[in-house]
Structure 1
Amino acid sequence: MSESTASATSLRHLMRAANHATLATIAIGHKQVEDGWPVTSMVVPAIYIDGTPLLLISELADHTRHILADDRVSLLFTPPPTLADGAAMIETDTARLTVFGRAVRDDAPAIRACYLRANPEAAQYADFADFGFYRVAVDAAYWVGGFGKQRRLPDDKLTLPDCQALIDGHDDIVAHMNADHLDALCDIVGHFSNADPNTGWKMHAIDCDGMVLTAKTGNPDMLRIDFPAPIRTPGDARDILVEMCKKSRA
């Protein structure tokens, strides 16, 4: 990702590809440091349909108690490390994105559903009394792509506005694709990824930047395919999927 291509879309792609993030909070009542001290911890986020980071955190954790007293947070996203000979390697010239925002408790069904689609194993503890869902209302973002490569995004430019129609229509889009267009999904997989298209792919989720698929057989991991351009509505989703299907069959 070069500086010239560090668009809001590409930065959302970076967030969606990350399998964890570093959360920074402001210490309040911490047992080891005085109030106001910056404290970091690792979290497993999900990225909402419009690009908003989501968290599922426990009130027993220091970071949650900090947020309840002062909701200002930062989240650091980095791409998953590359693997060489079975060992993880982290390069010093790796792109990273810091998101500044306010963590707001939000147990809306759509927020919960999105988080659990991305992290299904979290269903084991999501209903514990001390756990709650939070969305990070973005104030700003700062991207570093290596030495001399950086970009600052003000306010909420990182998230895509006017996505409510896509949020409301999410389940219907997924149901329709899985009921009527499994052949199209398999063709898209074959053209836009290196995965085997013949393993019974189904749509698992869709967002403003792409879709997540799962296979009936073979590799159990989720497969993400990004769209060539952002979408905001079910109509946009239909148009871009038709376009991608035509290209895969050309």
Structure 2
Amino acid sequence: MCNLPNDKNFKEHIGVMMQQNISITRITVKEILKLTQSYYQNPLTYEKIIELADLNDLEDSKMDKLSGGQKRRLSFALAIASNPDLLFLDEPTAGMDSQSRTKFWQTITDLKKQHKTVFVTSHYLEELETIADKIMILQNKSISFDGSIAQLRALEGESMIEFDSKLLPDLFKDMPEIIDFKKVGDHYKFTTKNAELIIGQLTPYLNAINNLKVQQNSLDSLFVNFNKEGATHE
């Protein structure tokens, strides 16, 4: 977590990307970025802003002529213009195509490596699984969970283990960590909250097991389960 300087210029160290895009007629991407730069004492260079926001081909485009995804990238550029240490992003990838989203999250990863703190509000939960260090869940106007994805998975996470084998089901069905056991033909399917332990117990039989697959619950399903049982976490 970053420590903001205790002075009257602390706002220079904070960047905000609002959910709604700003759109001004008759002004280009380059002009609005240059104007925004002028508000700060130590902004990022113009070239760096353009690079980070992937706006190289749009510098001379008018703001109001940009597509939805392009406007999001411009909003991000405006948010990072001051070279902030603390960055707030509200639904940052809404309207972006798949390629732009991938580039955007790689940029966020690079900013984190520079010890910048980034708060993201998003309904695209699958995007946060590989980027988020901490997750906060807001329920009924209060934060009902504040921790890592691993901690959330420990509360609500169930993994699915599947494989094909001609081994008898008696070898597996009494494993204490299995929540749900299914066998159709030679195909086994286990549900468990401790996939690592189950895999360890399966190790002696691996020579007789084919097509082994372990799938953890997605962040989206973890969130749904948490909401369903929200009252138990209060």
> TM-score category by the smaller chain?
under 0.3
Which structure dedicates a bigger proportion of its chain to helix? Answer: 2
Point out the structure with max Rg over C-alpha.
2
Which structure dedicates a bigger proportion of its chain to strand? Answer: 1
